[in-house]
Each structure stands twice: as C-alpha cells, then as structure tokens.
Amino acid sequence: MICGTQTRTGVTAAEVPQITALLNAVVPPPTSVTSTLDGTGTFTVVATWPPCAANTTVSAGTAPASGN
C-alpha cells in the first residue's frame, strides 16, 4: 500500500507531464499531484496519498522511479 508523500525536485518543464502521468498510473493513484516552479527554472512535483498508519515503514521504491 502506498501512503504519505513523494517529492521530486529538479524536474524540467518537459518532464512534468510524463512524471505526473506515471504517478497517476500507480495503483492506488495519489489523491493529488502538484507541480510548483521552484525559482531555478525547474519544478518540484509532489504526489500525495492517504497518510501512513503509525509504525509504517515506506520503501523509497514504492512509487515509480523516474526523474529525481
């Protein structure tokens, strides 16, 4: 089960649609995916799933690994 948030930094404008599509293809899909211009010409993409239960260990490889 995927839970919590995943943040990717340094995402180029060209990569935002691809990363957003990959994140939305995860089962279960995130409740939201946002991209924010970070002031250096790249974006920070944040995917949010429901909060993790107490005492939950989340693996870095839980969601698709593309970009940062």
CA distance 8 to 29: 16
pTM: 0.77
- State the pLDDT at residue 43: 98
Q: Is the predicted pLDDT of residue 1 greater than 90, yes or no?
A: no
- State the pLDDT at residue 60: 52
Residues 25-66 pLDDT 10s: 999 999 999 999 998 999 999 999 999 888 766 555 544 444
Task: Tell me the three state secondary structure of residue 24.
Answer: helix
Residues 7-25 pLDDT 10s: 999 999 999 999 999 999 9
Domain ranges across the chain? 5-48
